[in-house]
Amino acid sequence: MANKHENLTGLFTDIADAIRTKTGGTGAIVADNFPDEIAAIDTQEDLDPELTDQDAKIAELQSILGADGTEYLWQGDAKYWSDRALNIFPYVARLNGGKYYLDGQLHEMAIHGIAPYRDFTVTENDGTRMVFELRADDKTYAEYPRNFVFRIVYALEGKTLTVSFVCENQDERTMYFGLGGHPGFNVPLAPGKKFEDYRLRFAETCAPYRVGFNADCFVTHEDTLFALEDGRVLNLRHDLFDDDAIVLRNMAREGTLECDGDGHAVTVKYPGMGYLGLWHWPKTDAPYICIEPWCSLPADAGSITVFEEQRDLIALEPGKTYVNDWTISIS
Question: What predicted TM-score, i.e. pTM, was given to this entire model?
Answer: 0.83
The pLDDT score that the predictor gives to residue 11 is 57
CA-based nearest residue to 72, from 54, 97, 45, 111: 45
For residues 126-138, average pLDDT: 95
Instruction: Please give the order of strands across the beta sheet that includes 246-249.
Output: 85-88, 180-186, 288-294, 275-279, 246-249, 209-210, 224-225
Cα distances (Å, whole numbers) of residue 261 to 25, 186, 207, 287: 11, 16, 28, 18
Q: What is the pLDDT of residue 40?
A: 52
Query: What is the model's pLDDT at position 45?
Result: 43
The CATH architecture annotation of domain 53-330 reads: Distorted Sandwich (2.70)
Q: Which residue has better confidence, 37 or 131?
A: 131
- Residue 16: is its pLDDT beyond 90? no
pLDDT (0 to 100) of residue 29: 61
Higher pLDDT, 249 or 19: 249
Question: Does the pLDDT at position 59 exceed 60?
Answer: yes
Which of helix, strand or coil describes residue 23? helix
User: How do residues 315-324 score in pLDDT, each as one tens digit?
Assistant: 999 999 999 9
Please answer whether residues 146 and 171 qualify as being in contact, where contact means their C-beta atoms are separated by less than 8 angstroms.
Answer: yes
Confidence of residue 50 (pLDDT cuts 50, 70, 90): very low
The pLDDT assigned to 331 comes to 87
Distance of alpha carbon 106 from the chain centroid? 31
Average pLDDT of the residues in 217-237? 97
Q: Which residues pair with 186 in a beta bridge?
A: 288
Average pLDDT estimate for 235-248: 97
Helices marked H in 24-158? 34-39, 53-58, 138-143
Cβ atoms < 10 Å from Cβ of 93:
24
* Percent with pLDDT over 70 in the chain: 83
Phi, psi of 167 (to 5 degrees): -125, 125
Residue 69 per-residue DSSP state? S
The confidence score (pLDDT) of residue 58 equals 74
pLDDT confidence tier of residue 127, bands split at 50, 70 and 90: confident
309 residue type, one letter: E
Residues across the chain? 331
Q: Is the pLDDT of residue 23 over 60?
A: no
pLDDT for res 30: 62
**C-alpha radius of gyration, the chain, whole number:** 22
> Which of 24 and 69 is assigned the larger pLDDT?
69
State how far the alpha carbon of 304 is from the alpha carbons of 94, 108, 213, 310, in Å.
11, 11, 16, 11
In whole angstroms, how far apart are CA 231 and each of 81, 202, 207?
30, 8, 7
**Residue 80 — pLDDT band, cuts 50, 70, 90?**
very high
Residue 190 and residue 320: Cα distance in Å, rounded? 45
Buried b (16+ CB within 10 A) or exposed e, 46-57: bbeeebeeebbb
Percent of the chain surpassing pLDDT 90: 80
Residue 43 pLDDT > 90: no
